[in-house]
Structure formats: C-alpha cells, structure tokens
C-alpha cells in the first residue's frame, strides 16, 4: 500500500522544469484573471455595456485621480489576453503623462506609485506593439518623468516636515500677508 500511495503522490506532483514553468505561468494567469474578474469597477463597466478592452480603457481614463480607477486600468493593460488599438494606447499614454497632482498628502504618494506603475505598463504595451510615437509625445513622456520625480520629492519633503506643520505655516504666512494688506488699505 505504501508503494501505491507513493506512486500516486509522485504522479500528481510533476516537477519537470518545463511543467514547473508552465504551472507558474498558469498560476500567474489565474491570479491575474481572478483580480480582473473580482475588480468591482471592471464588473460595473461590463454591466454598463463597456465590453471591449478599448471601451473600458476610454471610460477609465476619464477619472485617473481615483486610485481604484487607476488600478482597474493597470489590470486591463497587464492582462496580455486584452488587445488594444494603437489609438487607445496613445490616448492612454497621453492621459497618464498629463494627469495633475495638485496637492501633497500621504495618499498622493500611493497614488503616484500606482500612477507610475500604470504608466510603465502602458509603455510596455506600446513597446511591444507596432506603434511609433511622435517626437512631441515622446518629449511629453520624458518631461512627465521629471515632473513626477519633482512631485515625489516635494511630497516626501512635505511628509518629512509634517503635514500639520506645513499647512499651519503656510496659513499663517497667508494671514500675515492679508493683515499687512488690510493695514495698508486702512492707512490710505
């Protein structure tokens, strides 16, 4: 009996290098599929009639300031079974390099990281597709990287100083300027 149980154990465990690689690839694809199918935003888009990956991307691009939308967009681009038109890839890249970050907070650090990961995923998709970007768009991408580095630096600086201290000091400076202007108006 021991021999038969060890045989059944060996037959169910296939450790050939090729099969191990296939199992890892299969498990990665399974996890990716589960993430996509469990993502409530992607499910909601399908319920609303956005069936194709292009339609979903175009809808998600309308609200890039929400991390949940960024994550759904990233999942769409990471799924290699999804095919995108060259126009949607170019529009996605342009939208991602033009997204504003107009405040600094702990949440904006996480959003910036997710934003950059999504941008990299779109760039990877473009690199492996028959698309040649215009010089203007390439320059926008390069400039946005410098802009995102500056946003990261400023956000890190604000967090190191402390969000409460930074707001209060700026608010106090604003009040002092207003008081000086009020005094000048009264003197006139």
Supply the DSSP string of 89-104, one letter for each residue.
HHHHHHHHHS----S-
- Residue for token pair 């956000």: 155
Nearest to 82 by CA among 50, 104, 116, 114: 50
DSSP secondary structure letters along 98-128 = S----S--HHHHHHHHHHHHHHHHHHHHHHT
Confidence of residue 172 (pLDDT cuts 50, 70, 90): low
Q: Does residue 9 surpass a pLDDT of 50? A: no
Q: What is the mean pLDDT of the chain?
A: 78
- pLDDT above 70 covers a percentage of the chain that reads 66
pLDDT of 125 > 80? The answer is yes
pLDDT digits (tens, 9 = 90+) for 50-71: 999 999 999 999 998 889 999 9
């Amino acid at each position: 009996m021991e021999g038969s149980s060890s045989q059944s154990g060996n037959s169910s465990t296939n450790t050939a290098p090729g099969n191990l690689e296939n199992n890892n690839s299969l498990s990665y694809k399974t996890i990716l599929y589960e993430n996509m199918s469990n993502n409530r935003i992607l499910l909601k888009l399908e319920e609303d009639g956005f069936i194709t990956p292009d339609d979903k991307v175009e809808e998600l691009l309308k609200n890039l300031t929400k991390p949940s939308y960024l994550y759904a967009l990233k999942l769409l681009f990471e799924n290699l079974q999804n095919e995108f038109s060259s126009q949607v890839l170019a529009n996605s890249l342009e939208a991602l390099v033009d997204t504003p970050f107009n405040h600094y907070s702990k949440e904006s650090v996480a959003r910036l990281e997710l934003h950059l990961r999504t941008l990299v995923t779109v760039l990877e998709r473009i690199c492996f597709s028959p698309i040649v970007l215009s010089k203007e768009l390439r320059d926008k991408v390069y400039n946005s990287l410098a802009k995102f580095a500056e946003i990261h630096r400023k956000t890190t600086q604000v967090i190191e100083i402390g969000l409460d201290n930074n707001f209060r000091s700026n608010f106090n400076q604003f009040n002092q300027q207003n008081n000086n202007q009020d005094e000048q108006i009264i003197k006139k």
